[in-house]
Amino acid sequence: MTASRLKDKTPIKEGGRTYAIVQTGGKQYKVSPGETIDVAHLPAAEGSAIELDQVLLVADGERVRVGTPTVEGAKVIAEVIGKGKGEKVIVFKYKPKVRHRRMKGHRQIYTKLAIKEIVC
């Protein structure tokens, strides 16, 4: 391998990049301005702005603020791009010797968000 190829494989450090860790729908997401994420269904109209106020951590390059459990006064402002469904998950129940079979499918509904800014 060449030296330039090895440089491409090294992990990228977060130096100078603002990011936050938010909690919504029982899950945590690492977000930064300009990214898009898929979260569990939120009751918001397409094109509307939404505030995620459960911010667990905020980092702005040289300073990191960790909440107990959330950072006071911090919020993430995002715009709802659209809604969609995830891939189908098959649930198959089977009991041997008694001819019992049940097959069910499920598609989780999600909301796609575009992160606009992080307010600390």
Is 5 within the bounds of a domain?
no
What sign results for the dihedral spanned by CA atoms 33, 37, 42, 21?
negative
What pTM was estimated for this model as a whole? Answer: 0.75
Domain count of the chain? 1
Is 40 within the bounds of a domain?
yes
Is 4 within the bounds of a domain?
no
Q: Is the pLDDT of residue 8 over 50?
A: no
Kindly report, residue by residue over 85-104, the tens digit of the pLDDT: 999 999 999 999 999 999 99
Is 89 within the bounds of a domain?
yes
Amino acid at 80: V
Is 69 within the bounds of a domain?
yes
Is 7 within the bounds of a domain?
no
Q: Is the pLDDT of residue 16 over 90?
A: no
Kindly report, residue by residue over 49-67, the tens digit of the pLDDT: 999 999 999 998 788 999 8
Residues of the domain holding 67: 14-119
Is 44 within the bounds of a domain?
yes
